[in-house]
Every structure is written in structure tokens, then in C-alpha cells.
Amino acid sequence: MSEDKKDRDSLDSLTDKQNAILNELSYINIKKFEPGDNLYLLVLKADNGKDLAAKMKEAGMDGYTIKDYVNNNGKNESGFCAIAFSDEKGNVGIAFRGTETKGLDNIYRDVISDALTFAGKNDTQVKEAIEFFQKNRDGNGDNNYLYGHSHGGVLVSEVYSRYYEIINGAHVINAQPIQTAKLTAEQIAAFRNGKFDAIVINGDIVYALGIPPYPVRYVEIVNQLYRYYFPKAHNIAQMKLDENGNAVICEHPFLDHPFIWIRDRLIQLTARLVQFDIDIYEFAIGSLVNIYTYIEKGLRKQFDDFVAGCAKFFNQAKKGVENFVNDIVNFLNDVWDGLKQLFNATLNSGYQYALANPLLAVDTVRMRDYASRLTKVNNRVKNVDNRISKLYGKVIKIEDLVGSAQRLSKLIRANVLLGNSPKLTKSAEYLNNAATDFETAEKKIREKKP
């Protein structure tokens, strides 16, 4: 094979079209193979591989050889599927299959895996993906390349987050995001070092099932009618390509299709709530940064009202979530108080001694004085909290997004410090109730005393 041919199909220099073909490769069902077999011929022989084989041939990708293949579809299996291959230069490629669309058992298993990922949990396929990479990676260096579509994309992210130092490139399309909250600062930086390439076809929603830690290229869809029909927009074949095999970038994905943008942001918000991370203002900042490049060039006035509406929505949503969380906290506090009372009555010897020896000197006047002081402090805390809440809508300035982010961050930290109001209320109530109980007990003792 000529050196020119080796360069054209080398994994380190492929076009978006060729990378998309390798993403599709994971969905091919290969029956029998031997390591070193020609990959193109194996795909050609597969029941569902003829169309992809034609694409490989046309793209000059018929010189790859297979290294390994796993298909764990079947009864009581995990549903994990992956293929490893190498090019003429010895670069190793690994493609992970995404969610299946055929076979009830396959769909069920993959949906469960998707749901676990959505909730921020690891499933068995992550473990299998890591083991598959460890087995088939380039043992002599960092010439490893990963590919994944849909749920296969999050498997790529899981592997990349652990082995980014020996991975030269990762290419995902419409990938389900890895949960950013569990990543370290170093891992997040690795996702942004230029080696991780993520494409989202305009109209897809799977990428919105979380907050991607990596930059995303939004590309045009082949059939514009499918923008609002996610199953079609999710298909790799809907990625629009130019004459050179590169994806056609969608210049204004959010301006041209505001409904899609709002839909995706609501899905991301739901994902954050499910993953027990309800920092809505951090989410708002991320959204504003994402659209910044699209409102920079002469479009600021058109979006002033839109951004103000978003700020109002997030402020209302924040209040709703805070009320819900406070209700949960109060409920848990009540449960905890009940458990403490049960413990004191049954196992706490000090408490039992106090019951057996009721003549205790307690200054109830001072207790009520402390309760009054706590109530005043709490009122001041609530006043400061209300004043801070009114500032949220004022610190967002579209002409200074970086400064807005910094100011919002400071406000959020201040709100965290003010989150002890329920505890102060409980403490004041406890002191007043305790004083009442002691006074009642003292009165009864005096009445019974001869």
C-alpha cells in the first residue's frame, strides 16, 4: 500500500465523514473473525454491514485490520458491544456501540444503562468498556483513538477520563454526557485540551441528558424536517457534510431554533436535579456562555428580553427548589428529633438519671433570653437573604458575561452561608419549649412537695 494511502486513512488524520463511519462501525454484527483479518471484508460479510462496507470502500478505509470484537447481546447479558481495529500505521481504534433500536431485550438493557448514566451512576457496561480498552490499547505508546455514538459516547468519556494521557483522539456523535460532577479538575481540563471531539446534530436531545464537560460542535442536519423529531436527528446519517467530508457547522443553532434550545436546557435542568446537583445558577451561567458567541455579532438587542426572561425563570425555579429542599430538611430534622427522643428514653443513661432525679437547677429566664436573641439573629439572616435574592437579576449583564459569572458565584456562596436559618429557628423553638417543660415540671414538683 502506498504511503499516500496510509496517510489518507490513518486514524490521526481522518475527516468528519470518516470518523462518522467508524462510529457506525460499532453497530455491525460480526459473526466470526481472527485477529488480523481485513475489517472491510468482515463488515461486507455481516448481515447488516453491506451499506457501511460501501461507505468504507468509497472513503478509502478498506485497509484496516480487526484486533478484537465483543457482542454481549443476549439473554442475561449486559448489552455491551465494542470493536477494536488498527490502521496501516499501527494506530489502534476502539468503537463502542450505543443504544440498540432492535430487539426488545437489547432495548431494555440499553435503556437501563442510559437511565443509570442519566442518574449519575455507573453500570456494568462502563466496567466492560474499561477492560476492553485495557486489553486492546496500543501497548507501545499513546496511539489510541476512541469512537462512540449515543450511549457509546458516554463509554468513550468514561474511558477517556481515566486514560486521557495515552489517548490521542476521541470522536463522539450525539453522545450522552458523562456526569461532570464526579470529574476532577484535571479530568475536566483533559476534556478541553483539543483531543476530545464532540459533534451534536441540530435537533438531537441525547447530548442534553447532562452537562457535557467538553466543547461541542453543533452541525447542520441533512433533513431540516427532522430537527424536531429526535429519533431521526439522533441518527449519524443525518450529519450534513461538505464536499471535503467535513461537518457543516450550524452558525446560530440557538438563534435559528429557540424552541430546540429551550427544550434542551429544560432537559439539562432535569438531569441536574436527578443527579442531586441543583445549582441552578451555575447551570444558567453555562447556558449563557454557550450562546455568547451567537449573540456577540449585532444580535445583543434582540436577546436582551430573552436573557431577562431566562434570569426571571431561573430565579423562580431556584426559589421553588429551595422551598422543596427546606421542606425535606425540616422533615428529616423532625425524624431525627424523634429518633433522639427514642434513644434518650431507652438507651441514654444521663437522660434517664435526669428523669429519676428531677430536682435540677435550670435558669429558664436565661434560656428564653437566648431564644429571643437567636430569633433576632435569624430575622436579620432572612432580611439579608431577601436582599441577596433581589440581586440575582441585577448582576447578569450580557455585555460582561465573565464578570456576571464571578458576581453570581459570590452571591451563591453567600447564600450557602445563609442556609442555617432553619437551624436557628429550630434552636430558638427548642430553647423556648425546653424552658416551658422545665417550668411545668417545677410547678408539678412544688405542688406535690409537702
Task: Please report how many Cα atoms fall inside a 13 Å half-sphere around the Cα of residue 137, on the Cβ side.
Answer: 23
Same structural domain for residues 170 and 46? Answer: yes
Q: Which of 90, 94, 95, 93 is nearest to 6 (CA)?
A: 90
Predicted local confidence at residue 436, as pLDDT? 84
Taking the C-alpha atoms of residue 237 and residue 252, their distance in angstroms, rounded to an integer, is: 21
Classify strands 92-96 and 81-86 as parallel, antiparallel or unpaired.
antiparallel
Taking the C-alpha atoms of residue 338 and residue 79, their distance in angstroms, rounded to an integer, is: 46
Same structural domain for residues 63 and 180? Answer: yes
Predicted local confidence at residue 206, as pLDDT? 86
User: CA 205, 206, 210, 212 torsion: positive or negative?
Assistant: negative
Amino acid at 320: G
- Residue 197 domain-assigned? yes
Taking the C-alpha atoms of residue 312 and residue 149, their distance in angstroms, rounded to an integer, is: 36
Contacts of 189 (CB under 8 A, 6+ apart): none
Last residue of a domain, one of 217, 233, 259: 259
Task: Please report how many Cα atoms fall inside a 13 Å half-sphere around the Cα of residue 44, on the Cβ side.
Answer: 11
Helices (H), 143-203: 151-163, 185-191
Predicted local confidence at residue 21, as pLDDT? 95
Residue where the block lists cell 426488545: 104
- How distant, in Å, are the alpha carbons of 22, 35, 157, 214, 372 from that of 28? 10, 17, 21, 28, 72
Within 10 angstroms of residue 249's Cβ, the number of other Cβ atoms is: 13
Contacts of 281 (CB under 8 A, 6+ apart): 314, 318, 392, 408, 411, 412
pLDDT in tens, the chain (450 residues): 455 555 567 898 899 999 999 999 999 999 899 999 999 999 999 988 899 999 999 998 999 999 999 998 876 677 889 999 999 889 999 999 987 756 555 555 556 666 666 555 667 788 999 999 999 998 787 789 999 999 899 999 999 999 999 999 999 999 988 888 788 889 999 999 999 999 999 888 888 888 888 999 999 989 877 776 677 888 899 999 999 999 999 877 666 667 777 777 777 777 666 554 444 444 444 455 445 444 444 455 545 555 665 666 566 666 666 666 666 666 566 656 666 666 666 655 655 555 566 555 667 777 778 778 878 887 777 777 777 666 666 666 655 656 666 676 676 666 555 556 677 778 888 888 887 887 787 777 666 544
Predicted local confidence at residue 131, as pLDDT? 95
Same structural domain for residues 45 and 181? Answer: yes
Last residue of a domain, one of 232, 259, 286: 259
Taking the C-alpha atoms of residue 432 and residue 370, their distance in angstroms, rounded to an integer, is: 9
- Residue 295 domain-assigned? no
What CATH number has the domain bearing residue 65? Answer: 3.40.50
- Residue 316 domain-assigned? no
Residues of the domain holding 190: 3-259
Task: Please report how many Cα atoms fall inside a 13 Å half-sphere around the Cα of residue 433, on the Cβ side.
Answer: 6
Same structural domain for residues 231 and 94? Answer: yes
Last residue of a domain, one of 243, 259, 275: 259
- State the Cα torsion 115-120-125-130 to the nearest 10°: 160
Same structural domain for residues 210 and 347? Answer: no
Predicted local confidence at residue 430, as pLDDT? 82
Same structural domain for residues 108 and 218? Answer: yes
Same structural domain for residues 52 and 158? Answer: yes
Predicted local confidence at residue 281, as pLDDT? 42
Same structural domain for residues 255 and 361? Answer: no
Same structural domain for residues 96 and 225? Answer: yes
Predicted local confidence at residue 117, as pLDDT? 62
- Residue 293 domain-assigned? no
- Residue 75 domain-assigned? yes
Whole-model pTM?
0.59
Taking the C-alpha atoms of residue 246 and residue 15, their distance in angstroms, rounded to an integer, is: 6
Instruction: Tell me the three-class secondary structure of 329-367, residue by residue.
Output: HHHHHHHHHHHHHHHHHHCCHHHHHHHHCCCCCCCHHHH
Three-class SS state of 65? strand
Taking the C-alpha atoms of residue 237 and residue 351, their distance in angstroms, rounded to an integer, is: 72
Predicted local confidence at residue 285, as pLDDT? 44
Predicted local confidence at residue 307, as pLDDT? 62
Same structural domain for residues 105 and 245? Answer: yes
Taking the C-alpha atoms of residue 101 and residue 43, their distance in angstroms, rounded to an integer, is: 19
> Based on the structure, what is the number of domains in the chain?
2
- Residue 323 domain-assigned? no
- Residue 329 domain-assigned? no
Same structural domain for residues 250 and 340? Answer: no
81-86 β-sheet, strand order: 65-71, 81-86, 92-96, 144-149, 169-173, 196-201, 217-219
Predicted local confidence at residue 185, as pLDDT? 87
Residue where the block lists cell 441543583: 278
Residue where the block lists cell 436582599: 387
Cell of 72: 454481549
In eight-state DSSP terms, residue 238 is G
Predicted local confidence at residue 239, as pLDDT? 94
Predicted local confidence at residue 373, as pLDDT? 82
